[in-house]
Amino acid sequence: MSSIETSPLTRKLRAFVAFSGPELAVLDRLHRRKRAFVPGRDLVQQGQSEQAAYILAEGWVCSYKVQPDGTRQIVDFQIPGDFLGLRSILLHTSDHSVEPIVSIQAAEVLIEDLLEAFSDTPRLAMAILWMASRDEAMVVEHLVGIGRRDAEQRMAHFLLELGARLTLVGMGSRAGYDCPLTQYHLADALGLSAVHVNRVLRKLREDGLVTFRDGRVTFLDHDRLVGLAQFDPAYLEHTGPLLK
Amino acid sequence: MSSIETSPLTRKLRAFVAFSGPELAVLDRLHRRKRAFVPGRDLVQQGQSEQAAYILAEGWVCSYKVQPDGTRQIVDFQIPGDFLGLRSILLHTSDHSVEPIVSIQAAEVLIEDLLEAFSDTPRLAMAILWMASRDEAMVVEHLVGIGRRDAEQRMAHFLLELGARLTLVGMGSRAGYDCPLTQYHLADALGLSAVHVNRVLRKLREDGLVTFRDGRVTFLDHDRLVGLAQFDPAYLEHTGPLLK
């Protein structure tokens, strides 16, 4: 039980539900089919049916959509504790693809596994619904932010949101976090060119707000960055369990 | 049981789950606290805690976010069979507001009601998770579409998506649907000015694709409109139950 106690998914769901021992055992069982993946091959493929979902245990992945004109748009990045491709087992065909950014460890989850877990503990069903709602809140926040934030604010908001998500699973702090994303990932996710990403990061560094180099994001002035981004983390919901 | 058999929520969830009689009874119980609301007063308020969720039975509402600068952005519209404010009972504070567009009928649902229903039937938990995933797929589709679609395509996509959603709950067809939205709603949701909305609708009408007047959307050439919008309804998932 010691590993499930400290798994990223457990840490994350505990922000919503205070799990009992038997509930943790159910959560542990969801992790039984462990898989390893390397960059360059999609875990989940857009347009395909009968896909599996995964609980990401280690590493980073990106979710993207390919447009009718062939261009690729990154929708979001997933970090340890996140579900990958939950929509791809609930919808007949997956509406997006999922690709590892680094070598990853993930547990495969089928719809039958979820049904079994839900019948053992309805509070887990509620926790997973919470997680899906939090993911939706993030997409809504991005959608609403697009028209409103300039490039600097968008970058600041993005780096702060990632920081808050990583902090919840014990992989970040107000000081910063390790981050394997390239400037191409940032460009694609934020709708900027790579050159523009470079310029924006330089500006944020020169203003003494944040640096991103050698795979590490370092917050130089967290409060001022929050002010610039108008970042309100309420939608990320880290205020302690609603279900005791 | 006859009313729950034909309720919009049942019609909608049946696209995912083939419910048994006892499962329908559980779904019926979720509708027990019926409420009526009129335009001008929010059902759910952004930034407030301890909000209820609702299952919309009759009428239309809009979900919106107020920005730090006071401007209001419509995130989406909800139609009969949709959950209102599901995130507002799962997150400590609601990240959005919900306002009736016309007089509506809705059933109030508390987190305890959902937990009780989930423990009676885990397949209902899975169906509600499907519904939340479908809602997220819609927001993702909007997010990805913003940069890619011009005003005409955005309007065409919007009218087709609403049509597909309404058809699922028996309130629309390939011929069209009744729609209480004003040009101001369309403008706010699509990020256009009201004048621009007017111009775009005139263009679509003159091209023989679709009309929207006197509270009715009429598809003049559904196939050609789908082509213009590059509308692929796969993410709306109407292909029959995954859970038999």
Contact A140 B230 (CB under 8 A): no
- Rounded to an integer, what is the distance from CA A48 to the centroid of its chain? 22
Shortest CB distance from B122 goes to which of A16, A125, A235?
A125
Residues from chain B that touch A127, judged by Cβ atoms under 8 A, are none
In degrees, rounded to 5, the angle at the alpha carbon of residue B178 between the alpha carbons of residues B177 and B182 is 120
Residues from chain A that touch B125, judged by Cβ atoms under 8 A, are 118, 122, 125-126, 129
Among chain B residues, CA nearest to A135 = B136
CB-facing half-sphere around the CA of A175: CA atoms within 13 A: 3
Whether A139 shows a pLDDT value over 80: the answer reads yes
Whats the size of chain A, residue-wise?
Answer: 244
Record: fold of A2-135: Jelly Rolls (2.60.120)
Residue A243 DSSP one-character state: B
Residues from chain A that touch B231, judged by Cβ atoms under 8 A, are none
pLDDT in tens, A8-17: 999 999 888 8
Shortest CB distance from B118 goes to which of A47, A118, A140?
A118
- Give me the helices (H) in chain A, please: 2-6, 8-13, 21-29, 86-90, 111-120, 122-146, 151-168, 183-190, 194-206, 222-229
Q: Domain residues of chain B, as ranges?
A: 2-123, 149-236
pLDDT score, position B143: 86
pLDDT in tens, B19-29: 999 999 999 99
pLDDT in tens, B111-138: 899 999 999 999 999 999 999 989 999 9
Among chain A residues, CA nearest to B229 = A68
Instruction: Quote the ipTM score.
Output: 0.90
Check: CB of residue B225 under 8 Å from CB of residue B163. no
pLDDT in tens, A180-199: 999 999 998 898 899 999 99
Whether B45 shows a pLDDT value over 90: the answer reads no
3-state secondary structure B58-84: ECCEEEEEECCCCCEEEEEEECCCCEE
pLDDT score, position B154: 93
Contact B16 A90 (CB under 8 A): yes
Helix (H, G, I), strand (E, B) or coil at B14: coil
Query: What is the arithmetic mean of pLDDT over A9-27?
Result: 90
Query: What is the arithmetic mean of pLDDT over B207-220?
Result: 97
Residue B16 DSSP one-character state: T
Lowest-pLDDT range, A39-48, A234-243, B176-185, B230-239? A234-243
Contact B234 A143 (CB under 8 A): no
Q: Indicate the average pLDDT of chain B.
A: 90
pLDDT score, position B129: 92
Class of domain B2-123: mainly beta
pLDDT score, position B238: 64
Closest to A156 (Cα-Cα) out of A233, A230, A74, A232: A230
Q: Which amino acid is at A83?
A: F
Closest to A91 (Cα-Cα) out of B8, B133, B81, B78: B133
pLDDT in tens, A70-117: 888 899 999 999 999 888 888 878 888 999 999 999 999 998 999 999
Whether A207 shows a pLDDT value over 60: the answer reads yes
**Choices 1.10.10.10, 1.10.760.10, 3.40.50.150, 3.30.70.100: CATH for B149-236:** 1.10.10.10
pLDDT in tens, A218-236: 999 999 999 999 998 887 8
Tokens of B179: 């729609």
Give the rounded percent of residues in chain A with a pLDDT score beyond 90.
63
Residue recorded with tokens 């929509």: A87
Say whether A149-236 and A2-135 share the same fold.
no
Shortest CB distance from B136 goes to which of A47, A118, A139?
A139
Contact B242 A90 (CB under 8 A): yes
Residues from chain A that touch B67, judged by Cβ atoms under 8 A, are 144, 148
Determine the Cα–Cα distance for residues A156 and B97; give it in Å rounded to an integer.
26
Residue B70's pLDDT band, with cuts at 50, 70 and 90, is confident
Return the percent helix, strand and coil in chain A, to nearest 5: 45, 20, 35
pLDDT score, position A67: 79
Contact A126 B147 (CB under 8 A): no
Contact B129 A129 (CB under 8 A): yes
